[in-house]
């Protein structure tokens, strides 16, 4: 079942890439039409910017994500023995290489994993989680993160973050351009059809980042139940993760300076908000449903 999951994730990565690429093409066409009345010009620029930017973000993702979240890398087990040893244990039993380990200085308990594949993965934990959780609870959380690593969830997430940010970048370019007073070049030339074209382009540009975010959040939401179940498979101790999730859900959100919103979906529990949001925009399934699912194991 796990191997099905991994293969499914690898297939989904390809689908996601194609889907996002087509979406990017639409945004590019809209941008081109809006700025220069030239769809092909827009497509060309989008292609170049997209490949360069996505390639950069994807290859540097671990360092970018860790920097965005103000995470410090541990140099060895002596920096935080308990965390280090637990991560070691979980990578042993999950049969993946030892990831890099980071700490975020924030009193709210939370953790996440990132990277392109299990060979260059990284996990991060807040100082709050180290202080408030017992060893069994922390083990459950780290097992959850290592399951994300083993399942290649981290690759999908990384790609989604990279693609969403390039769409946001291009859309921003387009909407900013509007305020500089662009597109006055051919104001006297069959303006009737142009207005419709401009409006449609504008709509695409405004909606693009929202669409990207919705896709990204949906991806992360579905992964959580599986990672919870996978964590129990590793630790053989559902109670550890259950009480960890309870403690995490009952604590205050993280400080906003410490969390980049684009990486909120990576965390084990939404770091920015504890209240129930509408389902479409939630990064995570409701905590009580996750705990109920775990109790059935």
Annotated binding-site ranges for Zn(2+): 144, 148, 224
Q: Please choose, out of 5-13, 135-143, 171-179, 278-286, the segment that lies near other proteins by the rule CB under 8 A.
A: 135-143
Structure tokens at 113: 């994993």
Per CB under 8 A, which of residues 195..254 are in contact with other proteins?
A: 236-237
Q: Which of 137, 145, 233, 256 is catalytic?
A: 145
Per CB under 8 A, which of residues 55..84 are in contact with other proteins?
A: 81-82
Q: Does 297 bind other proteins (CB under 8 A)?
A: no
Vertex 294: Cα angle to 285 and 86 (nearest 5): 95
**Residue whose CB is less far from other proteins, 134 or 176:** 134
Q: How many residues sit in the footprint of other proteins (CB under 8 A)?
A: 15
Binding mask of the shown chain, residues 11 to 50, with x at each position contacting other proteins by CB under 8 A:
----------------------------------------
State the virtual CA torsion across 59, 269, 96, 296 in degrees, nearest 10: -150
Q: Is 145 a catalytic residue?
A: yes
d(CA 122, CA 262): 17
Least Å from the CB of residue 133 to other proteins: 10
Select from 63, 136, 197, 253 the one that contacts other proteins (CB under 8 A).
136
Vertex 126: Cα angle to 124 and 130 (nearest 5): 105
Q: Does 92 bind other proteins (CB under 8 A)?
A: yes
**Residue whose CB is less far from other proteins, 91 or 164:** 91
Sequential DSSP letters for 11-64 = HHHHHHHHHHHHHHHHHHHHHHHHHHS-HHHHHHHHHHHHHHHHHHHHHTHHHH
Identify the sign of the CA torsion 227, 19, 286, 133.
positive
Are 231 and 295 in contact, with CB atoms under 8 Å apart?
no
Active site residues: 145
Residues that bind other proteins (CB under 8 A): 81-82, 85-86, 88-89, 92-93, 95, 134-136, 139, 236-237
């Amino acid at each position: 079942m796990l191997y099905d999951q991994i293969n499914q994730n690898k297939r989904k990565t390809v689908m996601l890439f194609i889907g996002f690429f087509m979406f990017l093409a639409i945004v590019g066409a809209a941008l081109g039409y809006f700025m220069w009345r030239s769809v092909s010009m827009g497509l060309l620029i989008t292609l170049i910017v997209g490949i360069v930017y996505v390639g950069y973000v994807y290859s540097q993702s671990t360092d970018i994500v860790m920097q965005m979240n103000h995470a410090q890398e541990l140099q060895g087990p002596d920096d935080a023995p308990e965390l280090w040893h637990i991560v070691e244990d979980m990578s042993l039993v999950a049969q993946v290489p030892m990831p890099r380990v980071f700490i975020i200085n924030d009193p709210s308990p939370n953790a996440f994993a990132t990277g392109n594949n299990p060979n260059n993965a990284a996990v991060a934990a807040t100082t709050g989680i180290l202080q408030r959780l017992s060893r069994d609870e922390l083990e459950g959380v780290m097992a959850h993160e290592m399951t994300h690593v083993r399942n290649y969830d981290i690759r999908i997430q990384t790609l989604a973050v990279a693609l969403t940010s390039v769409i946001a970048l291009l859309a921003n370019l387009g909407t900013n351009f509007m305020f500089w007073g662009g597109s006055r070049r051919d104001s006297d030339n069959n303006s009737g059809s142009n207005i419709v074209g401009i409006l449609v382009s504008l709509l695409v540009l405004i909606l693009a980042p929202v669409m990207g975010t919705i896709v990204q959040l949906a991806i992360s939401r579905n992964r959580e139940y599986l990672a919870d179940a996978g964590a129990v498979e590793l630790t053989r101790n559902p109670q550890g993760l259950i009480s960890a999730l309870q403690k995490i859900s009952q604590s205050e959100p993280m400080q906003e300076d410490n969390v980049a919103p684009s990486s909120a979906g990576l965390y084990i529990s939404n770091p920015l908000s504890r209240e129930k949001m509408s389902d479409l925009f939630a990064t995570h399934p409701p905590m009580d449903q996750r705990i109920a699912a775990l109790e059935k194991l």
